[in-house]
Chains A and B, each alone.
Chain A
Amino acid sequence: MAAITTAPGTYDEVDPNTSYLENNKGLMGWLFTLDHKRIGVMYLISVLMAFALGGIFALLLRAELFTKGQTLIDAETYNRAFSLHGVVMIFLFLIPAIPAALGNIILPIQLGAKDVAFPKLNLLSLYIYVFGACFAVYSMIHGGVDTGWTFYTPYSSSDPAHGGVGTSSSVIPMTLSVLIMGFSSVLTGVNFIATIHKMRAPGLTWRRLSLFAWSLYATAIIQILATPVLAITFLLLTMERFLGLGIFDPRLGGDPVLYQHFFWFYSHPAVYIMIVPGMGIVSDLIATFSRREPFGYMAIAMSSIALALLGFLVWGHHLFVAGMSEYATMVFSALTFLVAIPSGVKVFNWIATLYKGSISLQSPMLWALSFIFLFTIGGLTGLFLGMLAVDVHLHDTYFVVAHFHYVMVGGTVMGFLGGLHYWWPKFTGKLYNESWAIAGWLFVFLGFNVTFLVQFVLGSRGMPRRSYDYLPQYEFLHQISTVGSWILGFGFLLLGAMFVRSLLNGRPAPRNPWGSAALEWMTPTPPPPYNFVSDPVITRGQYDYHLATDDELYEGFDDPLLSHKSRKGGVDEGKEDA
């Protein structure tokens, strides 16, 4: 299989019987690694730190809103806290979480490849991300921003130091941070597209691609096409704020609504950068834990591509009350509804996959099922906001806050956690405590719903978002929501403790703890540096449970004879008796 050579000359120097964790130990071995799995793990550590930071901001916000008036912090601190919660969660966590962290670790293994197409670019993307994050930290040390993660002009661009009407917070380093991290996102996208096109193992046809790989492919298209627009927008914003160039500020002859068009031209597709990979993970989880090939495999794969493309056509729904022509609102409303079709196709196919499956409710599957429930609610409440007349009432209220948390947390975070639980034994080589995992899931699922379900009601009753204070009639619902955030926070602590315990003294994981037919479970745990002991040749699909033997399905694949010391070949064992 000489067709696949990622790092010429080095493949033979590595002992395939050592795992990627044992190979080339030491700090330098990690910092200068070209191994996609190590880069993925470093990404994972970074995004989890960002998630913890964003979570602390979230708990602070909810605590402040517990009573009307000042509870803990003043208005200015609150405004900075909600802005930083948004910036950190979206740009430092949600966007890289699944593609750059889990995708990096798993995608090349699912493709039967030794690495991604451009390993050096992959490492560069990590360092660009870290470099960008440094700017965000710099901005936070200088007081952060109070603009919201959306940086709407002229509030963000009109500096009072130059006689402007906007904010005096440190906007420029924060927008530069996002701009820089954008490059990291583009590089990951380029890398994944090239990898999926060129690095698939022999026999791994497009129709045999995992649905996670399909979703990453769709995501990469958006990352490449949309991210540059955000970079240009933030450069223009910086030039206006720093040089007084009139682009968005009407006092300088600019148009503030133009900014919103530019911003959402990226940021709406970015929603799909966040959710589509989560859908990919859920497709894989449902197949594995139902032991069944996904119903409507091609429909699920193509709906990812459809979402990626449709995502570019709906940015205008963020401007329904901002002053667009009635014709534009009509067109954007109609296009927005179209997004419901591929989303629905996914949900229906997932449910059809469960039908006559052999369903196991292990912890990764609990996250996948939570995704279906919460994403359905998130999607349906999106229809409220697509309906023009209803949107006018709900726009910029807590209804919107609840809606996108159901999609971003109920969707992306559930998918991310499902994937993390699912692949954790593979890339750490350790099992975790399943009882803790289920308890953690229970607290997160309950806490999430308590926190955000009431926010739909707050919003439909007219509570505007990004508000430090509120009218007395909203206090009770805010209190329920805050209590929910404590349950949610406790759930995440539990999960964090569980993963730490697993790293410290978890039992060694078998090769295939879930009894999956997918390719990444055919290689030793943890995988060798180039993923497979020898180059795999793919003879059946990732989900072909009907081609796998009874032993494989009901005993799991963790046959001690196949442990990686004594293994001879790649994928073929799983296939022998078929």
Chain B
Amino acid sequence: MMQSEPSSWQLPPAMADTATRVDDAYNFIFWFSVVFAAAVIAITLLFVLKYRRRSGVKSESTARHTKLETKLEILWIVVPTLFIVVLFHKGFSSYIHNATAAEGATEIRVHAKKWSWDFEYPGGARSNELHLEVNKPYKLILSSDDVIHSFYIPEFRLKRDAVPGQYSFVAFTPTVPGEAHVLCAEYCGTNHSAMIADVKIETPEQHQEFLASSGKKPKVCGTPPVECTDEKWGESLFQKNACFTCHGNAGDGMTGGAKSLGPKLAGIFGKPQSLADGTSANADENYIRESILKPSAKIVAGYTNVQMPPFASLTDDQLEAIIAYIKSLK
């Protein structure tokens, strides 16, 4: 996988057709602004220096310039109006272009929830990373399970809110193989900033391999890749689903040096857990499975119900792998 060069010092690498059109408009307004701001500042400083208060020198009355005044007012209303017509046109034409999906675009359903992304491909494969094939047109259908999120890939210059109760769309064609990120751009609660998914733009062969393996136990998994055991696969699923966001790395119950939002997972397997309602439950396979699929069913004492989203999209194979991984954590 190659990482493409940044478009400029102020823009991330352009990795989709949509990015090029935005960058053209961006660079235009950027240089327009630089020239304009420099002119305003330079003229102001020039006047300030040239007309510094000196003893015996009076200011000139503005009243002397009434004819010139009218002309100038018209000038600096008309000229900026012409500029903004151009700016509006540049912004709008690229926008409409980017809002239109290409014929025969592959549709991917994007489910946003606190605080992860879930991608559903044609044919039913699902993943928490966005796998795309280079040079193939896509249309993404966004929805949200809870609050408003915003789907944002800086490398594609694309952003669209995922609003609960409705669908929204983004369309693009990735042009460069490599990696990018889906970020959440609309504040959505405690772990908003950790709501990140990897984007992998793959060659057709790599992409076929992904589609074939997704949902089923892959041949290799982990970093560095090794032959897949349930534990290893569970570990990579734990990473891909960003479970560490709330449960800490390797489920150690710590994030950034503080107690994590979700309960500690390491070392709990087979031990009784005291629950917030005063009862207790044994942390066996069913307990873990239930906690993944119906997170609010049992709340561990000392934690609040922060509305962990149900990970209903996980297959039985995947759930077993995650259970095996949690079992292995000490």
Contact = CB atoms under 8 A, between A and B. Distances in A.
B62 interface: yes
A348 interface: yes
A299 B73 contact: yes
B150 to A, nearest CB: 6
Contact of A330 (B29, B63, B90, B92): B92
B159 A380 contact: no
B22 A359 contact: no
B92 A388 contact: yes
A356 B192 contact: no
Nearest to A461: B12
A16 interface: no
A389 interface: yes
Contacts of B48: 354, 359, 361, 369
B194 A469 contact: yes
A126 B90 CA distance: 47
B69 interface: yes
A359 B96 CA distance: 49
A329 interface: yes
Contacts of B305: 160
A399 to B, nearest CB: 10
Interface stretch (B179-187, B213-221, B222-230, B321-329): B179-187
B72 A352 contact: yes
B11 A354 contact: no
Contacts of A291: 53, 58-59
Contact of A323 (B65, B166, B188): B166
B95 A345 contact: no
Contacts of B91: 333, 386-391
Nearest to A343: B80
Contact of A387 (B29, B57, B96, B165): B29
A358 B193 contact: no
Interface residues of B, number: 94
B279 to A, nearest CB: 21
Contacts of B73: 296, 299, 345, 349
B146 interface: yes
Contacts of B56: 554
A250 B47 CA distance: 57
Interface string B185-201: 11111111110100000
A393 interface: yes
Interface string B127-155: 00000000000000000011110101011
Given A337-B87, A347-B40, A389-B95, A461 B154 contact: yes
B262 to A, nearest CB: 13
B33 interface: yes
Interface in B257-311: 257-258, 304-305, 307
Contact of B65 (A295, A372, A470): A295
B186 A345 contact: no
A376 interface: yes
A76 interface: yes
A155 B147 contact: yes
B40 to A, nearest CB: 5
A333 B164 contact: no
B163 A256 contact: yes
Given A154-B147, A387-B87, A466-B192, A351 B154 contact: no
A334 interface: yes
Given A146-B190, A256-B165, A380 B36 contact: yes
A45 interface: no
A462 B58 CA distance: 52
Interface string B75-96: 0110011001001101111111
Contacts of A297: 62
B41 interface: yes
A466 B93 CA distance: 30
B33 A372 contact: no
B211 interface: no
A241 interface: no
A388 B76 contact: no
A398 to B, nearest CB: 11
B26 A376 contact: no
A392 B12 contact: no
A148 interface: yes
B60 A333 contact: no
Interface in B76-121: 76-77, 80-81, 84, 87-88, 90-99, 114
Contacts of A37: none
B158 interface: yes
Contacts of B186: 152, 396
A464 B12 CA distance: 13
B315 interface: no
Nearest to A147: B187
A292 B69 CA distance: 14
Contact of A380 (B33, B58, B69, B90): B33
Nearest to B6: A461
A384 B307 contact: no
Nearest to B194: A469
Nearest to B24: A389
A251 interface: yes
Nearest to B157: A393
Contacts of A465: 185, 187
Interface in A315-329: 321-323, 326, 329
Interface string A454-471: 001100111011111111
A494 interface: no
B130 to A, nearest CB: 16
26 contacts: A70-B258, A75-B255, A155-B187, A160-B305, A167-B189, A291-B53, A297-B62, A321-B160, A333-B88, A333-B92, A356-B59, A357-B60, A358-B53, A359-B52, A373-B40, A373-B41, A384-B29, A389-B90, A389-B94, A390-B26, A390-B29, A393-B158, A460-B10, A462-B154, A464-B150, A546-B63
Q: For the complex of A and B, list the 4 residue pairs with the smallest distance between their C-beta atoms, beginning with the closest.
A: A462-B154, A250-B165, A387-B91, A70-B256
Given A389-B93, A464-B184, A467-B192, 12 more contacts: A165-B307, A295-B65, A326-B99, A345-B73, A357-B60, A358-B57, A359-B47, A387-B91, A389-B97, A462-B12, A469-B256, A546-B63
